[in-house]
Chain A
Amino acid sequence: MCWSRRSLAPLLVTLTVAAACSPAEPEARTFGAAEITRGKVFYDTNGCAACHGRDGHGDGQIAPTLTPLPRDFRGADAFKGPRTIPAVSSIIARGLSAVPTPMPAFGHLDLETRELIAAYVLSLVDVDGASASTSQQRSASPLAAEHAWARQPAPSRDVTAVYVTLINTTAEPQRIVSGISSLARTVELHEMAMEGSMMRMRRIKEIAVPPQGRVELKPGGLHVMLFGLRQPLKVGDRLPVTLTLSSGATVSVDAEVRAAEGQQ
């Protein structure tokens, strides 16, 4: 099912390119599966994934720090301009800083490289537009995140906790149900609870933020726990976490790594 949809994409790209090429162009290049595969290699080796994510889902390592968030290329509304290889190649060359977005110019890449990357990116478009609504929700999160920090993990540990104040700007209760981070294998919601003099930690299913209210995640209480950190973290590093709400909307948290004894 999923595969058959993907296999349509190269064909679609080929058609789009043919339509977009002006008669003045010496030859109308076709972009098939082989070009898309090469484009993916250039996508990986030129740093596109840092923001746009390994698979172009807009979930790259530094994506949570960017405003607006990088587009999920699967979304039908991901492309503001024409969905053609020349148009996308041109955006890669010039960037989108006039819009403004943080998309930098990659003018140093030659035309062929840019076109191959464009072919790969356009091949990701979900023809059913199934993820279009997701990318719309990402643009305006009902929750704001403030004062995010993470505890520097011990050298032999790939586990840490993230603390953040979440502010609900809507008139509806918002429930956080999960999280992801490009720097961790798993993200869980946890709670510390005192029972008499006993401290108990447990995983919880959700963190609710009341309408127009706020919830403070802090040591000894609610926290976001990250397992399987992919790299050692130094004080001052940024640790991006994307929290997902029950509505499917997300909130980006950019936690600053602080020294073990540095908690407030």
Chain B
Amino acid sequence: MRRVTITLLSVAAFVAVTCAPAPPVLPIGGDFHLIDHDGRPFDSSSQRGKVVLVLLGYTFCPDACPTTLSKLSAVASRLGRDRGRVTTLYVSVDPGRDTPQVMREHLAMFGVHAIGLTGPEANVAAVARQFGAHYEIEPAESEAKYTVAHTTTLFALDPQGRTRLLFPYEASVDEIVDGIRRLL
């Protein structure tokens, strides 16, 4: 049900990016508390005044998440001087393996100015719920031991912390840059 909701929202918001000047405020999101990649407490309200991108992921995954991070790296270069007005929050859905140090190294490699966030499983689950996102830890007959299926939607919050746009996994760098400029 939640997935259907998010899909519909995605379509609505995506259409909004391409047509309407002011994307609607979406009924998901809100402030949250986690631990950042330096091991310090993080309060999302500290990012007021900036456009905030929120995505779920986990660093063990060598395929999908790097694809998104690579895309965000390209978005940052395209934003030029405006990049300082945008923050990316990368919330780990694998707090068991993603310690702050692992998150820090991983993000440094991609050259993405993102804040890696982790925390107790319950807090991570609460953030996912707030955004109508979903993840499932799945045991795997693999050396990975388990994998984490997760929502790949990128959430864009305006400088007041309200969720305004959702970008699907397939969204292009151009589409994300255009969306961010509408919120700046």
Contact = CB atoms under 8 A, between A and B. Distances in A.
Contact of A154 (B6, B59, B138, B151): B59
Contact of A228 (B10, B73, B143, B169): B143
Contact of B150 (A151, A199, A203, A220): A199
A36 to B, nearest CB: 35
B43 interface: no
Contact of A220 (B6, B64, B110, B151): B64
Nearest to B143: A227
B70 A263 contact: yes
A188 B143 contact: yes
A28 interface: no
Contact of A227 (B10, B64, B144): B144
Contacts of B105: 154-156
A197 interface: yes
Contacts of A199: 64, 149-152, 169
Contacts of A152: 109
A201 interface: yes
Interface stretch (A12-20, A91-99, A157-165): A157-165
B149 to A, nearest CB: 4
Contacts of B147: 200-202
B62 A153 contact: yes
Of the candidates B62, B143, B152, B153, the one having the most CB atoms from chain A within 10 angstroms of its own CB is B62
Nearest to A160: B62
Interface string A251-264: 00000000011010
B168 interface: yes
A190 B63 contact: yes
B78 interface: no
How many interface residues does chain A have, given as a range?
20 to 34
Contact of B74 (A201, A225, A261): A261
A225 B63 CA distance: 9
Given A197-B152, A199-B150, A159 B60 contact: yes
Interface in B62-105: 62-64, 66-67, 69-70, 73-74, 101-102, 105
B117 to A, nearest CB: 17
B113 interface: no
A9 to B, nearest CB: 35
A261 B70 contact: yes
Given A199-B149, A199-B152, A154 B106 contact: yes
Interface string A71-110: 0000000000000000000000000000000000000000
A219 B3 contact: no
B149 A159 contact: no
A223 B149 contact: no
Given A160-B62, A220-B67, A261-B70, 13 more contacts: A154-B102, A157-B102, A161-B63, A188-B143, A192-B63, A194-B152, A199-B169, A201-B61, A220-B169, A223-B63, A228-B143, A260-B66, A261-B69
Interface of B: 3-4, 6-7, 10, 59-64, 66-67, 69-70, 73-74, 101-102, 105-106, 109-111, 134, 138, 140-144, 147, 149-153, 168-169
20 contacts: A154-B106, A156-B105, A185-B143, A188-B142, A196-B4, A196-B7, A197-B10, A197-B168, A199-B151, A199-B152, A200-B149, A201-B63, A202-B140, A219-B63, A220-B64, A223-B62, A260-B66, A260-B70, A261-B110, A263-B67
